[in-house]
Amino acid sequence: MPQLEDRRVKRSRQQLQLALQTLLQHEPLDKITVKGLCATSDMARKTFYLHYVDKYALVAEMVTQLFQALAKICEQISDDDFQAKTLVWLDFFDQHQPLIQAILASSAASDYRQQLLTFVQTQIQQKALWRNNPALQHDPVRLQFLASGVIGVLDQYVLAAQTAQQQQIAQRLSDLLLENLH
């Protein structure tokens, strides 16, 4: 019986996530309501509140899942190939652009940018160049600078929809990261 409950919980959460993505195609995150999410997912409000405190808890779960998926993809790419990893990031952000755009344009954007900053910092710290250089390991200002720069580029890339320049952006960003990690 517990397995059945787990499947129902998973299915309900997936329905709510799909409903949010559907609604984001028509309106900004700040205008979406729990009532609208429930109507779109054909779910009772009571069921929504069994899973989430509010719509931002739903978004937070989706953001966490995005970062987990991106981290998993990044694990499969060599630390030495910055350009390939940067291209993977840009492709990933392209695939999830409607959700990411909506999140970055919402009133809660600063919270999600902070999560992204932490994620980017972790990714940088996992690079061999960082791990093998004691001077870099004790330089939080450089880490903050690099991560903030990456986020600035990603922000511009996603919000301005610069997908046509993906190769050039990936090359330039990877060059800048490599220059600053030596």
CA 39/CA 21 separation, integer angstroms:
14
Res. 21: pLDDT tops 60: yes
pLDDT-derived band at 1 (thresholds 50, 70, 90) equals: very low
Q: Which class is domain 1-52?
A: mainly alpha
Residue spans of the domains in the chain: they are 1-52, 62-180
Cβ within 8 Å of residue 99, ≥6 positions away: 20, 21, 24, 62, 66
**Lowest pLDDT segment from 24-38, 45-59, 135-149, 151-165:** 151-165
Cβ within 8 Å of residue 126, ≥6 positions away: 79
Give the residue among 113, 180, 112, 100 at the shortest CA–CA distance from 148. 113
pTM across the whole model: 0.80
Residue type, 155: D
Tens digits of residue pLDDT in 66-117? 999 998 988 887 766 777 888 888 889 888 888 888 888 888 888 888 888 9
